[in-house]
Structure 1
Amino acid sequence: TRTSNTPALYETADALGVLHRDDEDMTQANLPDIHKSLGQFIGQCDYLYRTIDLDVFPAATAPGDSAPAARGVSFDIIEPLL
């Protein structure tokens, strides 16, 4: 969520060409496009190190996280992308 991150963080990510999406965009309707762009990104990589920050999940899914997201992204969206 843009309200959970600083403008400087987004500016740096954009300057570095980081692939990112806001939680509002992570929906079932957008899943085919997300999958496609993720596949294109991975196709450019020689190596890929994947981690998942628990902050991405809704507070109800990851209640012990130090910075839980109010909205977050449901596991139903994340799982097919793994």
Structure 2
Amino acid sequence: MEAVKALLEKCPDCATLRDARGRTFLHAAVENKSYVVVRHVVRRSSELSSILNLQDDKGDTALHSAVRTEDFIVVYDLLRHPQTCK
């Protein structure tokens, strides 16, 4: 979490960077069950809302990944944000 905070503080635009499969750091946090990172994104909604609905190369958002893996903690956290497409 500290690395994520440091990167976002120094370079806020890096939040939209993607890996070779088109995933953002939020996708990776969901896949790795990094609840603290997911909650950080939801709490910093004004700054990070742009990544909530970004799709990877398969068309999946972070919410899609959470639903597919039945990670209902993440599903709940993401759905609490008003800008998450439902």
- TM tier, shorter chain? 0.3 to 0.5
Structure with greater proportional helix content: 2
Q: Structure 2-normalised TM-score?
A: 0.33
Larger Rg: 1
Q: Structure 1-normalised TM-score?
A: 0.34
